[in-house]
């Protein structure tokens, strides 16, 4: 932390790690420490004061994940403090990984950590980052980008998406999904500033069998997910099941199944180089043509265009 830092840049990732600790059993929990130039409190840009756990000088080489938040001045320009940049440059090599939030990417770039890498930042400062650091390939679209041990996040609230991705890397998709549900987030929302994701989870229903069925569907996308097969699974007639499912979830069984399959297809398009026919098969959509129609219907784009825009750099 440092004076006038963006509040959510600090508290957003901290909350994700805190919820992850509650969702884990038998694993080493995250320990979140806030470091500042001096001991005591730091006044954020929101006027809220946060207390530091230790000073920069006390950090040393104990860092596993160094998260660097950002700040802007009254003109909207990133705040670049030379002493802070120097401390980041000295500390980052000892960290297992480094992540910037929002305009914190400008601090990483000034510290030389983004040279030769692809990075993102808040869309409003992306051009400036590219101009000030021509050795950095700046992509303003993704919510976050991973380049080796360095992660960069986009504007403000995406800090929680980035932190969720770190949790997924550490503890797997199951824990990350549980955290996303608790925080009412989208899992792996890797689009640009637009809302391309579909919700992976809804509020619990009044029927446990329907809740359990939704979880089973997302874990078995290649199974027979017809209304008849799902009705048989919960021991209801097909007509009664369709009425109950729509009443409890607000969607038809077919619509929910397609949404879950599209979400998995998004994940594969963002994180793999698998051809479209394999992506379609892996998420239960069967063919590239069906995948194309589902993307048009749900996201208003094609799988090829989606991958081109939202592919995660790794």
Instruction: Characterize the bridge pairing of strands 41-43 and 49-51.
Output: antiparallel
Answer for the pair 87, 137: CB distance below 8 angstroms, yes or no.
no
Question: Would you call 159 a catalytic residue per the annotation?
Answer: no
What is the C-alpha to C-alpha distance for residues 268 and 278, in angstroms, rounded to an integer? Answer: 10
- Tell which residue, 154, 184, 153, 169, has the closest CA to residue 19: 184
Point out the catalytic residue in the list 102, 159, 222, 235: 102
What is the C-alpha to C-alpha distance for residues 44 and 197, in angstroms, rounded to an integer? Answer: 31
Measured from the Cβ of residue 290, the count of other Cβ atoms closer than 10 Å reads 14
- Tell which residue, 208, 186, 209, has the closest CA to residue 197: 186
Q: Is the dihedral of CA 218, 219, 224, 230 positive or negative?
A: negative
Instruction: Characterize the bridge pairing of strands 65-68 and 97-100.
Output: parallel
Catalytic residue numbers read 102
């Amino acid at each position: 932390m440092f004076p006038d830092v963006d509040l959510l840049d600090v508290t957003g990732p901290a909350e994700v790690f805190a919820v992850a600790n509650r969702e884990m059993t038998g694993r080493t929990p995250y320990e979140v420490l806030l470091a500042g130039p001096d001991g005591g409190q730091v006044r954020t840009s929101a006027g809220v004061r946060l207390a530091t756990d230790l000073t920069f000088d006390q950090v040393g080489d104990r860092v596993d994940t160094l998260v660097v938040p950002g700040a802007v001045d009254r003109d909207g320009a990133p705040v670049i403090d030379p002493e802070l940049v120097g401390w980041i440059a000295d500390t980052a090599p000892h960290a297992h990984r480094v992540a910037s939030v929002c305009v914190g990417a400008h601090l990483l770039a000034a510290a030389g950590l983004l040279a030769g890498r692809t990075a993102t930042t808040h869309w409003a400062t992306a051009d400036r980052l590219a101009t000030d650091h021509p050795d950095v390939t700046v992509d303003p679209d993704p919510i976050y980008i991973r380049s080796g041990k360095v992660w960069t996040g986009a504007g403000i609230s995406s800090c929680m998406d980035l932190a969720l991705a770190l949790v997924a890397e550490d503890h797997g998709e199951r824990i990350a999904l549980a955290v996303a549900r608790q925080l009412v987030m989208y899992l792996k929302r890797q689009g640009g500033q637009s809302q391309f994701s579909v919700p992976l989870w809804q509020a619990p229903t009044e029927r446990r069998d329907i809740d359990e069925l939704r979880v089973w569907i997302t874990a078995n996308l290649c199974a027979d997910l017809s209304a008849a097969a799902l009705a048989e699974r919960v021991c209801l007639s097909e007509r009664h099941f369709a009425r109950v499912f729509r009443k409890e979830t607000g969607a038809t069984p077919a619509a929910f199944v397609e949404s879950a399959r599209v979400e998995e297809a998004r994940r594969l398009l963002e994180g793999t180089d698998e051809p479209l026919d394999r992506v379609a098969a892996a998420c239960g959509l069967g063919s590239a043509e069906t995948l194309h129609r589902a993307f048009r219907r749900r996201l208003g784009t094609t799988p090829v265009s989606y991958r081109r825009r939202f592919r995660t750099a790794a």
